[in-house]
Structure 1
Amino acid sequence: MEEKPEVLADQVYLTFGCAVDITGTLEKSPNKKQNVELYAHQIKVVGECNPVDFPFKIKERHSLEYVRQFPHLRCRTNAFSSLLRIRSEATTAIQSFFRDNGYVQIHTPVITSNDCEGAGELFQVEVRAFSAVYTFGPTFRAENSQSRRHLAEFYMVEAEAAFTESLDDLMKVMEDLFKATTEHVLSCCAEDVELFHKYIAPGHRDQVDLMLKRKFNVYLQLREFGSVPHGGFGMGFERYLQCILGLHNIKDAIPFARFSHSCLL
């Protein structure tokens, strides 16, 4: 931002982090690192910010671990504001994919009296309903873990489809979902993704184009011995973001991280 002589005296009180109302002219920049510059004619401080108490300092690169201590303020940083934009576009892409493929979104209850996945009391039922449904919302688990891959509260994409004839049918949906979402994010948030690949996880960009090659023999055997045709899958939203952005810690992939012995705000 360039200043002209007629700029008001309010500029004296400008500090890093304060909110300002600027009137000026947007012009082409001679600097190769930016396309435009704002020539300010008038600057008004709307919200002051004490630079002594403000946890983020100008021209300092703060680690993600440090920024994580201030969940209510970390959206002010370049990295986290980029993450929020990426989360928004990825959410849009996921919902568009399922809608375009005939899935109906279902809002399931978060609190239930059922013994979910606990195998405490199983019985068989037959119902006639939608043939393809999905849910996308918060999930809670009692993860007594401080690892970089676990959260007690996270977002999960879960889909169920009737009349699946093979595991390949299910894998096709999963692969198409992953590809469509990633292509949308890379297209709509190119600068935001580049920030992560350049400063947060250098060298990760080339890895995004590779498939994660691991052996899943144990999972295949679960379907091989006495299983019946059915289909469904779940994808942790933060795990997905952690994968494509190269984030070391999953706690940096969600606005307000909830994990064992930590619930800031």
Structure 2
Amino acid sequence: MFNKRVKIKELLAQEPQHQEVTVMGWVRTFRNNQFIALNDGSTNNNLQVVAELGRFDEALLRRITSSASLRVTGKIVPSLGKGQKMDLQAETIEILGDSDPDKYPIQLKNRPTLEYLREVAHFRFRTNTFAAVFRVRHALAFAVHKFFNEKGFVYLHTPIITASDAEGAGEMFRVTTLPVDGSAPRNEDNSINFREDFFGRSTNLTVSGQLEGELGATAFGEIYTFGPTFRAENSNTARHLAEFWMIEPEVAFNDLEDNANLAEEFIKYIIRYAMEHNREDLDFLSQRLAEEEKQLPQDKRSEMGLIEKLEFVINNQFERLTYTEAIEILRESNYNKKKKFQFPVTGWGMDLQSEHERYLVEKHFKKPVILMDYPKEIKAFYMRQNDDGKTVAAMDILAPGIGEIVGGSQREERLDKLTERMGEMDIPTEELWWYLDTRRFGTVPHAGFGLGFERMVQFVTGMGNIRDVIPFPRTPKSAEF
């Protein structure tokens, strides 16, 4: 029976006791017509299968090629060779799936580049690097649900198709069943008549579940969303995806300080979980990153290794300061020529760049930073206005090596302030009547934040390109697989 197999990771954790087992997996290498390195994806470590000379038919042995799949039954014994503590002495070998080594697109001995592996993403999981990355991704996803479940949050599935633009940026993918050949129904002014569309109005793929999440928080008290979001931003960079996953908790009766405390606790929890449950994978990725950085000039290398960076986050209390204080620190650093920025610090009201955020974390405070109270002109309409009339109760969490990793705010619960701000930003109140109803009937202070899941996976794994931490990246001009 197939379900009687033993996972290689579990097997390698035991002591060899001449027990009989059945394992299944894919061939990594086959050398000397006798030694098979078998891997089933549960670990990067291979199990050495020994095919005793003369025991197996030559025709069978010729079919044992790279990436062929096998079912092997035999006895686990202490290994006589170096590099492994046990061997599986094969008694039976069954080929489950053949693989032509000349046509298989990944030749591990040549160490294919990450760029090439994106072109064959359907097979890149079989490499050590991507196997480690996606096992860590799984652990982080599990930790997200575990954290919020332990705190009594309700997991809310918010819509993927929506008629609202939560961020007001307009970079959304349209969802329609109307013809695209120019024959779509038109209004008198020649605009498309979306009343004839499937939903009877213009709809898009969501950029955020936050607005709907607020509705849940004002009923359950504490909710979180964790689902796909989409942004039609034509940015072909190592930091952007068109499809990505977001985690967005929302908590009634919380203010900005409560929000910051929750976000800090959450980040530390999921990183700690990955370090406790996937240390083997993280050590592998750390070593890989260190080898890559040896090829870089000294001034381009990171000051911290991967494990050191993760410990830096979970072992330090995050520094809290206002945006205004941060601008003064950055201006002073520029004034004293301590740090020359590519983007000059022009003064209060500017949007901080990644290099500014990293300076605060890595050079000035040497710990993660939570920036609060941003100018309202550079933030979204739903953020609570502070008494000074200039700033809003917003926060960003900045981490080493990557900059902003979390963005959040206390939401504007006052109906008059919210509608006034929507008017200033030309956001039609009639389209968000349902959102405004929560301010009309039992409004409460509430706050929440968003964490881009791929950005977190990228941070924890040390991968340089965000396309390498999502199974099948969606980017401009690319929707393969």
Q: TM-score under structure 2 normalisation?
A: 0.51
Partner of 1:115: 165
Structure-1 residue corresponding to 2:464? 248
2:269 maps to 180
Match of 1:209 in 2: 311
User: Quick one: which amino acid aligns to residue 252 of structure 2?
Assistant: A
Structure 1 unaligned residues grouped into runs of 5+: none
Q: Retained in 2: the 8 A contact 1:201–1:245?
A: no
Q: Which amino acid aligns with 1:152?
A: A
SS of residue matched to 2:110: coil
Q: Mapping of 1:123-134 within 5 angstroms? A: 128-134=218-224
On the 8 A contact 1:2/1:37 being kept in 2, the answer is yes
Find 1:169's aligned residue among 258, 282, 303: 258
Higher relative contact order (CA 8 A, sep 6+): 1
Instruction: Trace 1:2-81 onto structure 2 (pairs within 5 A).
Output: 2-5=50-53, 6-9=55-58, 10-81=60-131
For 1:244 and 1:255, the matched residues in 2 are separated by 16
Q: Would the alpha carbon gap of residues 126 and 243 (structure 1) be closer, same or farther in structure 2, given more than 3 Å must change?
A: closer
Specify the alignment match of 1:151 in structure 2.
241
Between 205-214 and 91-100, the greater mean CA deviation after superposition? 205-214
* SS of match in other structure, 2:219: coil
Structure 1 residue 198 and structure 2 residue 295: aligned?
no
Deviations along 1:197-251, whole A, 9 cap, x unmatched? Answer: 1114553221222246447667545464444553110001110011111110000
Residue 66 of structure 1 aligns with an amino acid whose one-letter code is Y
Kept after mapping to 2: 8 A contact 1:142/1:152: yes
Residue identity in the other structure for 1:254: I
Q: Which amino acid counterpart does residue 258 of structure 1 have in structure 2?
A: R
Unaligned runs of 5+ in 2: 1-48, 171-213, 292-304, 314-357, 362-368, 377-384, 393-411, 413-444
Q: Which shows bigger deviation, 107-116 or 31-40?
A: 31-40
Which secondary structure does the structure 1 equivalent of 2:220 belong to?
coil
Q: Report deviation, 1:13.
A: 1.9
Are residues 210 and 156 of structure 1, via their aligned partners in 2, closer, same or farther at CA, if it must alter by over 3 Å? same
Which is worse superposed, 190-199 or 28-37? 28-37
- Distance in 2 (alpha carbons) for counterparts of 1:201 and 1:68: 22
2:227 corresponds to which residue? Answer: 137
Structure 1 Cα separation of the partners of residues 141 and 108 of structure 2: 32
SS of alignment partner, residue 156 of structure 1:
strand
Bigger radius of gyration, 1 or 2? 2
Cα displacement (A) at 1:32: 4.9
232-241 vs 43-52, greater mean Cα deviation? 43-52
Name which of structure 1's ranges 204-213 and 236-245 shifts more when overlaid on structure 2: 204-213
Tell me how far apart the structure 2 counterparts of residues 130 and 68 of structure 1 sit (CA, whole Å): 42
**CA 1:87–1:217 in structure 2 vs 1: closer, same or farther (change >3 Å)?**
closer
Q: Deviations over 1:77-118 (max 9, x none)?
A: 111122222121111110010011121110001001123322
| Paired-residue identity, % | 36
Cα RMSD (Å): 2.4
The count of aligned residue pairs is: 260
Contact persistence 1:8–1:42 (CA under 8 A)? no
Could you tell me how far apart the structure 1 residues matched to 2:154 and 2:457 are?
24
| TM-score normalized with structure 1 length | 0.89
Structure-2 separation of matches of 1:91 and 1:218: 27
Per the TM alignment, residue 44 of structure 1 is displaced from its structure 2 partner at its CA by 2.1
| C-alpha distance after superposition, 1:10-34 (max 9, x if no partner) | 1122111111121222222244532
Contact 2:247–2:452 (8 Å) recurs in 1: yes
State the partner residue of 1:237: 453
Q: How far does the alpha carbon of each residue in 1:167-225 deviate from its partner, in whole angstroms, 9 at most, with x for none? A: 22111111111111111111111111112111145532212222464476675454644
Distance 1:155 1:20 in 2: 35
Q: Letter of the 2:101 partner, please give it.
A: P
How far the C-alpha of 1:119 sits from its partner, in A, is 8.1
| CA shift for structure 1 position 3 | 2.2
Cα 1:77–1:131 shift into 2, 3 Å:
same
